[in-house]
Amino acid sequence: MADELTGEIEWYLPDPRAIIPLEGFHVSRSLAKQLRQRTFDIQVDRDFDGVMRGCADRPEGSWISEKFIQLYGDLHRRGLAHSVEAWQNGRLVGGVYGVAIGAAFMAESMFHRETNASKVALAALVQLLREGGFTLLDVQFATPHLLQFGAIEIPNALYSCLLRSAVDTTPKPLNIVEEVITTNERPSM
């Protein structure tokens, strides 16, 4: 994360660490209804920079600095960082981004400009990770927002074991798995 005062990029290792177990992802009734209505067109990596900038655009300020956006842009160009995006009428209205290493996806941030757009993007990300054979969705901190989806906190020692195992596993690349979610027949959540 970028320090808001100095702009320096710093490494954070929270203990406990928050993850969302992929098979334990909770979809509320209202979100399930929204998913069935297909209010948003889900895309992968269509506008990675736009998702990062959307995540950084917060009234209270953000740890996502311009330098951070450039570094993650480099990771994206190398195929390591990805975004799952919610589009409506040709406009980016929500999304989530993070880094994929092996079968681990470290979700960094999400945003919305339309109600539930980030929730739909997160649900799509979980579906993509499941379909692709990913084993770990790291969300770093158990915020009230993430707890509603089934996020749990685990000790850093357990997280390290899960991460080692996930990094040593080869999933399907997300750019191949995206075909699952961008067709007219989306998988059920």
Q: What ranges do the domains of the chain cover?
A: 17-182
pLDDT value of position 182: 47
pLDDT value of position 14: 78
Alpha-carbon distance values, 22 to 40, 70, 79 (Å): 22, 29, 22
Q: Give me the chain's average pLDDT, please.
A: 88
Report the length, in residues, of the chain.
189
Q: Which residues of 59-77 are buried (b: 16+ CB within 10 A; e: fewer)?
A: eeebbbbeebbeebeebbe
pLDDT value of position 165: 96
pLDDT value of position 4: 64
pTM of this structure:
0.87
Cβ neighbours of 9 (radius 10 Å): 13
* Choice among 3-12, 20-29, 117-126 with the minimum mean pLDDT: 3-12
Helix, strand, coil percentages (3-state) for the chain, rounded to 5, are 40, 25, 35
pLDDT tens track for 74-116? 999 999 999 999 999 999 999 999 999 999 999 999 999 999 9
Cβ contact 44:84 at 8 Å: yes
Compute the average pLDDT of residues 155-172. Answer: 95
pLDDT value of position 59: 82
- The tokens describing 85, both together, are 């995006």
Domain 17-182 class, CATH top level: alpha beta
- Provide DSSP, 125-185: HHHHHHHHT--EEEEES--HHHHTTT-EEE-HHHHHHHHHHHHTS----HHHHHHHHHSSS
pLDDT tens track for 22-66? 999 999 998 988 888 889 999 999 999 999 999 999 888 788 889
- If DSSP codes are grouped into helix, strand and coil, which group holds residue 72? helix
- Higher model confidence: residue 7 or residue 121? 121
- If DSSP codes are grouped into helix, strand and coil, which group holds residue 92? strand
pLDDT value of position 175: 65
pLDDT value of position 34: 87
Query: pLDDT at residue 161 above 60?
Result: yes
pLDDT value of position 51: 98
For residue 189, what pLDDT band results from cuts at 50, 70 and 90? very low
For residue 188, what pLDDT band results from cuts at 50, 70 and 90? very low
- CB within 8 A of 122, min separation 6: which ones? 84, 96, 107, 110, 149
Q: Are strands 152-154 and 17-19 parallel, antiparallel or unpaired?
A: antiparallel
